[in-house]
Amino acid sequence: MKKILNSLSEEEFVLIRETKKAQMADLDEDKLIKLHTRIRRARNKHVKLYRQEGAAKVADKGARGAGKSANIRNSEKAEVFEAALSRVSSQLASAARASARELKGERLARARSDSPSFSELGDSNGKVGSSGKARVDATRKSSGRKKFEASTIAAGARRQAKKDKR
C-alpha cells in the first residue's frame, strides 16, 4: 500500500491525503460533496484505465490471467481510490445525518412556536373564547375567477339578447 502511495502523482497524492479523517473533520456537507465528486472521478478514471489496459494486454499476452498480472499497478491505484471514496462516503453520510437532525429540530421548534398550547388558552369550560379569523374568499380576487365570471355574464347576456330578438 505504501509503495503504491509513493508512486502516485502529486495531484493524486494530495487528493488521497484530503480524505484522512483529520483533514475531513472540519469540512461541511457541501465541501464533502465536492470532495466526494473529485474522488469518485479519480476512482472511475483508474478503474477505466485498468479495464482498458487489461483488455489491450490480453491480446498481447494471449490470456486474461497473464494480462492481469501485467496490470497490477492500475488495479492497486483503483483500490486506493476506492478506499478513499469509502472514507469520504462515510464522512458525508454522517454529516448528512447530522444536518437532517438539525433541520428536523428547527422544523419541530418552529411548529411548536406557531401553534398555541392548550394551557395558553385559559379556562373556557370547553367553549371557544374568540370569534376566530374573518374568512375571506381569496378565489374571488384571482384573474382566472374574474375571467370565468365575465364569461358567464357575457354568455347570459347573449342568451337574453337571443330571446329579445324573437
Q: Tell me if 26 sits within 8 A of 91, measured CB to CB.
A: no
pLDDT level of residue 110 (50, 70, 90 thresholds): confident
Rounded mean pLDDT, 45-54: 89
The CA-atom distances, in angstroms, between 76 and each of 43, 82, 83, 84, 117 are 11, 10, 11, 12, 62
Q: pLDDT, tens digit, for every residue of 50-79?
A: 888 888 877 777 777 666 776 788 888 899
Residue 127 is predicted with a pLDDT of 66
Q: Can you state the angle between helices 72-114 and 10-17, rounded to 10 degrees?
A: 40
C-alpha distances in Å from residue 75, one per residue of 36, 42, 98, 133, 155:
20, 13, 35, 70, 77
What is the predicted pLDDT for the residue at 67?
Answer: 66
Residue 112 buriedness (CB in 10 A; 0-12 / 13-18 / 19+): exposed
